[in-house]
Amino acid sequence: MGKGAYTGPLEKVDACCFRIPKSHRGDMRVDGLIFADDKLIQAIRNDQAPEQVANVATLPGIQGASLAMPDIHWGYGFCIGGVCATDPAEGGVISPGGVGYDINCGVRLCKTNLFLDDVKHHLRELVKGLFHTIPAGVGRTGRYKFDAKETRELMGQGASYAVGRELGVPRDLGHIEANGRIDGGDPEEVSDHAVKRGAEQCGTLGSGNHFLEVQVVDQVCDADVAAAFGLELNQVCVMIHSGSRGLGYQVCDDALAAFRNAPAKYGITLPDRQLACAPVDSPEGRKYIAAMRAAANFGFTNRQLLMQQTREVFASVFGRSWEDLGMELLYDVAHNIAKLEEHTVDGKKKKVWVHRKGATRAFPAGHPELPPAFRKTGQPVIIPGDMGRASWVLVGAAGSMEKTFGSTCHGAGRAMSRTAALKDAAGRRIDKELEARGVIAMSSSRQGLAEEQPKAYKLVDDVVNVVHEANLSRKVARMRPIGVIKG
């Protein structure tokens, strides 16, 4: 986590929001706003993430405020949980640190028509099947191999590339943010090195906080929206959390190298060189945006292939086709991305670049960008917690458009650094502790489980309460994990 506690001002705006006034520092162009309650703000003060919120408030062209969600913690340049919108018409910049290294890291939720009683006696076999079928861990390659030409095609087409090869069905696409393809991605702007890193990693889970979980709906908070989403008590679902793997990491690395001298070139003064940025309409800005969008399309395709492998494992274990098991995609959301969107700022409609780093879109009912399936309800918002407690499905709410450029939290947020979590887990068997809670977990390394142990994270219920009360997104259903695979 960030070194030392934050000692600057945090003024309470209301029960769910705290302000860092722009008077805190002479270089801040706007206020910083952190969505949190009295309980969470105590932990948030313990590292320097709030100062990163203040740093982002210095970016040229920033609109409204520099924002942070209740899962805020220290990150590269921007805090994780950070949201920032910039206006190109006012010299607005694009910043790779505001997207993150794992471009289009995101989450998808696949439903089934199975219930806990159908699955509990097959759970160990199911988790083993998933673990031995789906590659997980650092640098692991998978069963899908694409040459450089195919990888670039894939980055141009997004998830439809997989569907076109019968790795999914066309109706999947209507349940993915942006239909699984962000326009304007240019695979030719992605370096050969990045392509090489990604060529054998599409359809692989990766390491760190990435996971695949078999979950059971254990609480329904909004019966009408849950019914519209096809969720009910004791139903079994599968949640998949992964991103663009080594390809996205390399795109970010390449951009940071290209942006190193951009602030000086364009007369931009920054409080932290990790905020390296360039005007949206500069050659550096345009090149990064084209490559970032292409990497995002790789991320959508990766999760599509992960879901298709999951469907195959379920079909094998239960002896029925995945269609017969009702394995339909509810939704897939990105949470490390920058997008050009229309928002109302100070009463005026503007096209702004919304950076969401560890933050998820939460568009409400009626938003024109929503697919027909969710026009009446608002989009599903998928919030993973930790592998021992719970995750949530919420629905986008009107307050997100008024307060956060259509954004909400993306997870529980870390409460301990990986180093601290490893130290804390010394001499313990996290897999056995999880099993005692009714969770079968398999990982490619004992270290992976130790770093991701439940208490390394904030309690997701606390984080979700804040975005619910702030009307950024509303609770629909909670899921508890019963089976986990990790890198």
Q: Where in the sequence numbering do the catalytic residues fall?
A: 410
Q: What's the burial of 295, exposed, middle or buried (CB within 10 Å: 0-12/13-18/19+)?
A: buried
| Best CA proximity match to 99, nearest among 284, 301, 248 | 248
Q: What is the 3-state secondary structure (H, E, C) of 379-390?
A: CEEEECCCCCCC
**Burial (CB count <10 Å: 0-12, 13-18, 19+), residue 369:** middle
What is d(CA 108, CA 240) in angstroms, rounded to the nearest whole number?
5
Phi and psi based region of residue 405 (left: phi greater than 0; alpha: psi -120 to 50; beta: remaining): left
The DSSP line for 228-290 is: HHT--TTEEEEEEEE--HHHHHHHHHHHHHHTTTHHHHTT---S-GGG--EETTSHHHHHHHH
Nearest Cα residue to 364 out of 395, 387, 386: 395
Class of residue 122 by CB neighbours under 10 A (exposed 0-12, middle 13-18, buried 19+): middle
CA distance 202 to 299: 8
Cα 282 to Cα 62, 96, 286, 288: the distances in Å are 17, 14, 6, 10
